[in-house]
Structure 1
Amino acid sequence: MSLQLYIDKLSNLRAARANGRARPHKICMMLAVADLIENGHISTNKINYDNELKSRFTFYFDQLKQGNDANSPFLPFHHLESEKYWHLAFRSDRDEKNYRLKSASAARVEKYVYHAYLDVQLFEYLRSQNSAIHLRAALSTNIDQLEEQFGRWMKLQGKSDKTIKNYIGAMKSSLSNWANDAHITNKSLISVASYFEYKTITTKLRELNEFKANDKRGKGMYSAALNAYSAFLEDVTQVETQFDIEEILAQPNISNTTKATLVNTRLGQGGFRQELICLWGGCSITNYQNTDFLIASHIKPWKEASNSERLDKYNGLLLLANLDKAFDRGYISFLDTGKIVISEKLAEPEVLGINSKMRVSLQRFHQEYLAFHREQVFRYSA
């Protein structure tokens, strides 16, 4: 089957629906599998229902869940079989018969299913950097109710209700109207789920005189709205991570072993994450200890760090998702004493569970990295 046919299939997942919206489980499972193929955890066409898969599923699910969506990775592991390119291998014929007698559950998947596997051609496409990035983009087009998802995402970034309302309003009305009138697209911008399609549209939109004039009058509000939606799509599709991985693989002067280690680190997996778990024991700020919910976060950003700094455990914090995002975006940082510093640009930090009494226990090896973060990443009010 051609790449385009798989792109079409992944663009049209048959997702379960509730309250008029598509549930995100199948999207999250396929994105998780794509990540694990890329980092080498899945090296052959055998998808085990293991902790790595469940953890990566949770990473995406936490971004896309709504309402009463349950973190149940066994559901898409089972139901993706209806997509025809996802298959289940059972431990025996008898196990398959027993498995299909009742509804799926985590226990039944673990007891009866040996592993899942993909169409051979799809697996090969996902192993290729060139084709995998298009398959990821196809998956993102299944994201339902983008306006609501975008609003929830901005809330997690610490945006105020007023800012959220203004950005969504601009995306739905003025920005979409200008793009439509200039025949750049006939869509509402807030309905675009593909990062690459969105970048193509907005690159042309930013060149319009009408956009430039209104953006100047609005003191950059329209640019800020476009940038926020771009960052939202980047987060969902992890496209920036894909670019970083391509950069790693293209480096001629490092060994394949080092490349594999760096790829795992960029994906938040492997030795770097394990070293942070051993070093911190839980969230570096709250001490919350369920590692399924913790993200390995670089202090000195990936793009600014050398390969050795990217792998240095002292260039890392282990954080809950909301704290990771605030730290990564420069809304919080830490003094040499470990005391938190909160940017005045973070609206309603208490909504994110952030308060001025928070602190981290630092070692001297952290200081240089945190100094860089305060100087280059933290958002000062001036």
Structure 2
Amino acid sequence: MATLEQYCQQFKDVRPNRARGNTSPHKICMLFAVIDLIQDGLITDSRIYFNDTLKNRFALYFEQLKTPRDKLNAAFPFYYLRSSAFWHHYIKPDAQTQYDAIKTPSETSLANTVEYAFIDVELFELLQNPTTANKLKAAAAVNLDTHEAGFKIWTKAIGHSEAKVDEYVLALKEKVADLMIFDGLEQPNIFAVNDYFDVARMINKLRGLSDASNATYGDPATGHVATCIKALELYRAYLDQLSDIEAQLDIDHIQHDDSIAETTKAVLVQARRGQGKFRERLIKQWGGCAITGYKNISLLMASHIKPWSTSDNAERLDPYNGLLLTPNLDKAFDLHFISFNAKGRILISEALGDYYALGINKDMQVPLKEQHLPFIEQHRDVYFEKLG
């Protein structure tokens, strides 16, 4: 029985056609269409019929993600997804030979040979759940040349209208790039930028533009620049959301790792969530926020210093690899906008922008012990320095 983590990996590995210099969106559009129809209750079991409902939903996604070289053809992904471990065909009686002879699939050849496609029952159950379905959508979107598809799905899911989503996508694809070129900072397609920190830099630079009027863009504080900043802030939040997906995948990996004892699994899962014994040890160690001394522990976050992804299981539970922080400091630290020197003095990245608005100031300090220093050194030298 495959796990969510395994299916996410399979979705990342669907191997779209990359001929002619671009990634074909066909397989991804087909997966998005199937997920939508399951969520809408229009596909009610693991069988997927090649009917007008499926083809129409596929076409909606295809119109959003196609390039000028791509041609609308739902038969291709319906057939070629069979190379993925989760997608299968139920062949019509006496049609196996004809099916095996297919060189280039068409709607006619599929109608003559395939009764329906079907996915694993376990996968169908995961796709019925909106939370796990969104994680699988995000995994499939990795195959695209950019994060555009995932951003559209996420932005609609948090309540923005389709018109607003289109406005933000246009700003990210064209207007932001124009402004960055104008500012002497030519950037690639914004949707090709998957680094939270690079997006933070762009926001900072555009805020600099909004401080002075420019005849080309009218009043940048309320018009063109403001829209671009809002779009970039949403894109930064989308990239941040992907890290939450990674956290859940980490938890799934722990839960399905047979080499880890069950009692240890429970402790590690709680630690990944910033709870349990790891949090208790940090509360005992710090007694309040490690930086401000704030005492209401119900509002404080247990933050790992050395990232979970690069820590071993012992380091993940080590209280000296953690700080107890207020939510604003936790977020800034986790995203490497702040760090500390060997004496515990705060270091603040310029990319953070108006840090006073977050209650952060240059006089902050954390009383580090010797055992903290190796973890803090890595956070500072490997991650914080990345922001420049």
State the TM-score, normalized to the length of structure 1: 0.47
Q: Which has the higher contact order (CA 8 A, sep 6+)?
A: 1
Q: Which has the larger radius of gyration?
A: 2
